[in-house]
């Protein structure tokens, strides 16, 4: 496994250095949100910050290091409430929705988050708060980790698929209404020999893309939490 920025000692900035790691991360986040991973380069970022490459590399030695920092920054945006304030079920619901929202704000995240361990301080803080939240539900020790992981896996997986769907629409150059109508028309045609699927496609024509994707996420998260509720120790 490669060495990460989290396992190296952070160097002190030179006395006259005005650029900070925080400034670099903020600027890089803007580039990634607008252009994706392919649009991010250290050279472009240095130009955006009006800084020399040497200054940039002093704070962030490699692009991999920068991606690690950016992923951790996203984990810091996710809300995991205290169980005393919300109760574990409402807290888990808020956590799942907050995680989905973070991925939709940063659609580049699914491309990189599975390629490296998330061991930065904000990821650790998120995990610790999650353990407290699910521990308050009454799960056994091992099931605390499994329950937390199940909610994270559902939210990450579903939101990642949603990002891919929205990217398909964006690349089509069509309006949302045109794109969805064409997609459903193709699905209806492909389902000619399957009446059950024809009916399923017809049911989908009544909702717009945003409503459909949100309904799908909400239903699945509620169902998952219903199942987890049955595993709480009495």
Q: How far is CA 194 from the centre of its chain?
A: 35
Same domain, 92 and 197: yes
Residues 154 and 211 in one domain: yes
pLDDT-based confidence at residue 71 (cuts at 50, 70, 90): very high
Work out the average pLDDT over 49-73: 88
Residue position matching structure tokens 């040497």? 54
Q: Are residues 56 and 107 in the same domain?
A: no
How many domains does one find in the chain? 2
Residues 214 and 105 in one domain: yes
Looking at residues 99-108, what average pLDDT do you find? 97
User: Is there a single domain that holds both residue 55 and residue 83?
Assistant: no
Determine, yes or no, domain membership for 122.
yes
Q: Domain of residue 121: give its range.
A: 79-229
- Are 156 and 111 within 8 A, CB to CB? no
108 shares its domain with 205: yes
Q: Do 160 and 225 belong to one domain?
A: yes
Q: Are 148 and 187 in the same domain?
A: yes
Residue 217 lies in a domain: yes
pLDDT digits (tens, 9 = 90+) for 12-31: 666 466 788 899 999 999 99
Full 3-state SS string of 173-222: CCCHHHHHHHHHHHHHHHCCCCHHHHHHHHHHCCCCHHHHHHHHHHHHHH
Q: Per the domain annotation, does 170 fall within a domain?
A: yes
* 86/41 same-domain check: no
| Stated pTM of the model | 0.89
DSSP string, 34-74: HH-GGG--HHHHHHHHT--HHHHHHH--SHHHHHHHHHHHH
Q: Give mean pLDDT, residues 68-88.
A: 94
Query: At CA 106, angle to CA 102 and CA 111, rounded to 5?
Result: 110
Indicate the burial class of 145 (C-beta count within 10 angstroms; 0-12, 13-18, 19 or more): middle
Q: Are residues 192 and 159 in the same domain?
A: yes
Instruction: Mark whether 109 and 191 lie in a shared domain.
Output: yes
Q: What is the mean pLDDT of the chain?
A: 90
């Amino acid at each position: 496994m490669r060495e990460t920025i989290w396992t190296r000692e952070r160097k002190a900035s030179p006395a006259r250095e005005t650029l900070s790691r925080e400034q670099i991360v903020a600027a890089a986040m803007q580039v990634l949100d607008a252009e994706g991973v392919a649009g991010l380069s250290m050279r472009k970022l240095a130009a955006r910050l009006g800084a020399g490459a040497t200054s940039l590399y002093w704070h962030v030695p490699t692009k991999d290091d920068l991606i690690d920092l950016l992923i951790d920054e996203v984990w810091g945006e996710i809300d995991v409430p205290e169980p005393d304030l919300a109760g574990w079920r409402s807290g888990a619901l808020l956590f799942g929705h907050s995680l989905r929202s973070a991925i939709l704000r940063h659609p580049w995240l699914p491309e990189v988050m599975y390629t490296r361990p998330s061991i930065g301080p904000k990821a650790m803080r998120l995990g610790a708060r999650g353990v407290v939240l699910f521990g308050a539900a009454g799960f056994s020790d091992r099931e605390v980790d499994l329950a937390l992981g199940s909610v994270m896996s559902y939210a990450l997986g579903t939101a990642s698929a949603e990002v891919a769907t929205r990217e398909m629409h964006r690349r089509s150059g069509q309006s949302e209404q045109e794109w969805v109508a064409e997609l459903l028309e193709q699905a209806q045609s492909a389902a000619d020999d399957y009446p059950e699927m024809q009916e399923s496609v017809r049911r989908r024509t009544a909702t717009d893309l945003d409503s459909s994707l949100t309904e799908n996420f909400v239903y699945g998260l509620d169902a998952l939490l219903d199942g987890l509720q049955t595993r709480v120790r009495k």
